[in-house]
Amino acid sequence: MKTNSFRSVSEELLAYSAVYRVPIAAALWCGVPATDAESFSQDSSVEVGRGVFESPFVVNLEVRCRALHHAIERGLLHCCGEHGKIIEGYVAPEKRYVARRDLKQWMAQEFESEKPSFLFGEAERRAHVDTLRRLREDRDVLTSQMDQLKACYAEVIEGRDRLTRELNAVAAKSAPERPIPARAETTYLNIIGALLDLLVARSPSDNRRSLFPSQAAVITAVETRFPSKEGLSQRTLHDKFAAAKRSLDK
C-alpha cells in the first residue's frame, strides 16, 4: 500500500511539474497519446511555420499550435524554458515551452468545453460532462418555457388587437354627431322647401304641376319608396318639411 501510494503521489507531482514544447502540447491536445507525442512530432508531422506543425493524421494540429503561440505572444499563457522556469520577454517560437499547470489554467479559461485527458483527470472530465448534461437539460427546459411564453404572448397580442378593433367600432358608433352649422342647415332647409313647393304647388289657374296633390302624398310616396330608411320616417319628414317652409317664409 505504501509503495502504490508513493507511486501515485510521484505521478501526480510529475504531471504537475511537467513542461511541454508547444508542438508536443498541441499534439497532446489533439489526443495523441503521451507515449507517442514526441516521436509523432518528429516523424509524422511537417513544420509549416516556426514552431507550427501540421499532420494528415491529426485534425487541428496546426490550429492548436498557432493558438498556443498566440496565447504566449499576448501574455495569456506563460512561456518557460525546458526546466519550467518562466521566461520574460521574447522567446523564439521553436524554443517555447509551456508548463502543465499554466496550460491547464489557460485552457480552463479559454476553452471551457474541452477537457483533454493529459491535463484533466477522469473525475474532472466526468464532472464536466455532468455539468454539460445539466446545462443542456436546463437549456431544454428554458427553451420549452420560452416557447410557451411566446405562444401566450401571441394570444395576448391577438386578444388585445381584437379588443382594440371592437372598442374602435363601438366608439365610432357612439361618437356624438357634430352639429350642422346654422348657415348650412338654412341652405338645406331652403332646398327642401323649394323642392317641396315645386312638388305640391298649383298654377295660378289652380292646376296641379305634379303627381302629388299634397305634402302628405309626398311623405307617403317617400315612405313607400324608401321603407325603414333612417331619417325618412313620417314624423321626421313632417318636422323637416315644416322647418323648410318656415325657412323659406323668413
Tens of pLDDT, residues 90-110: 999 999 999 999 999 999 899
Per-residue pLDDT of the chain (250 residues; tens, 9 = 90+): 444 444 444 555 556 678 999 999 999 999 888 888 777 766 678 889 999 999 888 889 999 999 999 999 999 999 998 888 999 899 999 999 999 999 999 998 998 888 888 888 777 767 656 666 777 777 888 888 888 888 888 888 888 888 888 888 887 777 666 777 878 788 877 878 788 777 776 666 656 666 677 888 888 888 888 887 787 888 888 888 888 788 888 7
pLDDT of 7:
44
pLDDT of 209:
60
Can you say whether the dihedral through the CA atoms of 243, 245, 247, 250 is positive or negative? negative
Residue 206 corresponds to which cell in the numbers above? Answer: 289652380
pLDDT of 153:
84
Contacts 24+ apart (CB under 8 A), 183-192: 186/247, 189/240, 189/243, 189/244, 189/246, 189/247, 189/248, 190/244, 190/247, 190/248, 192/240, 192/241, 192/244
pLDDT of 177:
65
Whole-angstrom CA distances from 234 to 112, 188, 193, 204, 208 are 89, 19, 16, 30, 23
pLDDT of 86:
92
pLDDT of 37:
79
pLDDT of 20:
92
Whole-angstrom CA distances from 163 to 166, 168, 169, 176, 212 are 5, 8, 10, 21, 51
pLDDT of 19:
92
Look at residues 142, 128, 38 and name the one whose alpha carbon lies nearest to residue 82: 38
Tens of pLDDT, residues 194-214: 887 777 766 666 566 666 778
